[in-house]
Chains A and B, each alone.
Chain A
Amino acid sequence: MKSFWSITMATLAKDIRLEWRSKDALNAMLFFSLLVVVIFVFSFDPLAEESRHIVGGLVWVAFLFAAVVALNQTWARELRNQVLDAYRVSPAPATALFVAKVLGNFIFVSLLEALMTPLFVIFYNLRVLGPAWQLLPVALLGTWALVVNGTFFAAMSLRTRSRELMLPLLLFPISIPAVLGMVAATTSILTGDNPAHFYIVLLLTYDVVFTTACVGLFDTVLQAE
C-alpha cells in the first residue's frame, strides 16, 4: 500500500514538474480558456436576469471544452518515447499510474476553471442568490467526474485511429448524467430557486461508481497492445 502511494505521488510530482517546465503549453492552455469564455460572451448576450438561468450551462460547457483539450494531452509525453512500455515492464501497479494521471488532470483542469470563473462573473455580472458555499462541492465533484472518465477514455483512445476525436466521442455520452447534475446544481445555486442537494448526491454517486469502475478496469486498458 505504501509503495502504491509513493509511486502515485512520484508520478504526480514528475508530471507537475514537466508541466511547469513546458510553460509554453501551460500558458497556451490558459489563453485558450480565456478565448472560450470570450466566445461565449459574444454568443450569449449577458443581460442580467436571463443570464443567471443559463449561465450554469454556459460555464460547464466552457469547462468541458477546456477539459477535453487538456485531457487529450494526458498521455502525450508517455507516447513520445513509448515510456508506457517501461511502465508495463516494471512491477508498479497500473492503478498507481492512473490515479496519478487523474490527480494531475484534476489539478490542471481546476486551475483552468479557477481562471475562467472570475471572467464569467465579470462578463455576466453574476450574483449568487442561493447558498454560495455549495458551489465548491459541485465544482469539485463535477470536475472529478469529467477528469476520471476523461483520463480513462484517453488511455482507451491510445490504440485507436483519430485518437483526439475518440476521446470526446467516448466521454460525452457517458458524462451526460454528470453534466446534467453539474449544470442543474449550479443553476439552482445561482438562482436560489431550488435546493441542489439531490444533484450533489447524484454527482457523488456518479464519482464513486465511475472511479471504482475506472480503477478496476484500467489495467485491462493499459495492457492492450
Chain B
Amino acid sequence: MPGMEATSNPDLVRVSGLVKQFGRFAALRGVTAEFDGGRFHVILGDNGAGKTTLLRALAGLAQPTRGAVSILGKTPQAACRNIGYMAHPSLLYDEMSGMENLRYFARLYDIAGDERCAQVIRAVGLEPELSRPVGKYSQGMRQRMSLARAILQDPKILLLDEPFSNVDVHSARAMVGLLAGMRDAGKTIFVVTHQAALLEGVADEFVWMQAGQIVDRTRSLAEKPAEPA
C-alpha cells in the first residue's frame, strides 16, 4: 500500500490470529499484535513460549498454520529486501573470511562493490581485512559478523534471535550500542533474548510471551507480569 509510510508512526509490523503448529505441538496459539515502526522491541519468555517461532514467522521462514503476518503492508517474502534476520547459528560459511562471506551475500541483494561490506564490518567493530575464516572466530566476533550480514542491505526491520548468547560482555555492549543507534536512525528492531538486562533503558518495550501467546507488553523489566498459578 503506497500511502502507508506517509502517515506518522505507521504500523509497520502486524500479526493477526497467528497460529503455528508442529504436529500436535502448538508453538503459537493465536498471536495478534501491532508493532510501531522505529521502535526497539524485546521479546521475552521461557523456553517453548514461542519467541523464536514468532520471529521466524515475521521473517517468512515459518509458514503460519493460520493467521497472517504483514510487514510494511506486504507479506514477509515480498518485503524481504527490508528484513534483516539473525539467529543463533551464524548463517555464515565457516571456511570463508568475514569479508568473503559478506561479498557473497551482497550479491544476493544486488549490492555491487566492497565498500558497503567493509562499512558494515567496521560498524560492528571488526576489521574488513581480517582473513581468518569465520569458523575460527570467537563467539562474540561470529555474532557480530552475523549481525553485519543482517544489516548489509540496510533493512528497515531487524529480527535478531538470541544475538547475545555466549557472547562476551564487551561484544554484547558494543552490539547493544549499535542497535540503539540504528533504532535512533529509524529502524524497527525485534530482539529475542534471555539476557534482557542488557537492554534495560535501551529498549522501547518488552513483549512477554507465555505458552504461544503474548501476555503483556511493558515499558520496563520491572513491570514483569505475574507468574501463572
Q: Which chain A residues have a beta carbon within 8 Å of chain B's beta carbons?
A: 3, 6-7, 10-11, 14, 17-18, 21-22, 77, 80-83, 85-92, 223, 225
Contacts and interface: CB of A to CB of B under 8 A. Distances in A.
Contact of A89 (B60, B92, B93, B96): B60
A7 B111 CA distance: 11
Nearest to A96: B108
A224 to B, nearest CB: 10
Q: Tell me the interface secondary structure of chain B in the complex.
A: loop
Contacts, number: 69
A88 B60 contact: yes
A89 B157 CA distance: 12
A86 B149 contact: yes
A18 B92 CA distance: 13
Contacts of B110: 3, 91
B33 interface: no
A92 B93 contact: no
Contacts of A10: 104, 107-108
Nearest to A86: B91
Contact of B90 (A6, A18, A81): A81
A223 B80 CA distance: 14
A85 B108 contact: no
B83 interface: yes
Contact of A80 (B80, B94, B100): B94
Contacts of A91: 80-81, 108-110
Nearest to B96: A18
B109 A81 contact: no
Q: Tell me the interface secondary structure of chain A in the complex.
A: helix
Contacts of A11: 104
Given A83-B91, A91-B81, 7 more contacts: A18-B95, A82-B89, A83-B93, A85-B91, A88-B60, A89-B59, A91-B109
B94 A85 contact: no
A216 B2 CA distance: 32
B178 interface: no
A81 B94 contact: yes
Contacts of B93: 14, 18, 77, 81, 83
Nearest to A14: B104
A225 B63 contact: yes
A81 B94 CA distance: 8
B108 to A, nearest CB: 4
Contacts of A22: 95
A90 to B, nearest CB: 4
Contacts of A7: 107-108
Interface string B136-152: 00000000000001000
Contacts of A90: 80, 105, 108-109
Contacts of A223: 63
B86 to A, nearest CB: 9
A87 B93 CA distance: 12
A85 B104 contact: no
Contact of A85 (B80, B81, B87, B105): B87
B147 to A, nearest CB: 13
Given A89-B80, A90-B105, A225 B91 contact: no
Contacts of A14: 93, 96, 100, 104
Contacts of B149: 86
B61 interface: yes
Contacts of A17: 96, 100
A10 B81 CA distance: 19
CB-based closest 6 A-B pairs = A10-B107, A86-B91, A92-B108, A82-B89, A90-B108, A81-B89
A77 B95 contact: yes
Given A89-B60, A91-B108, A82 B96 contact: no
Nearest to B110: A3
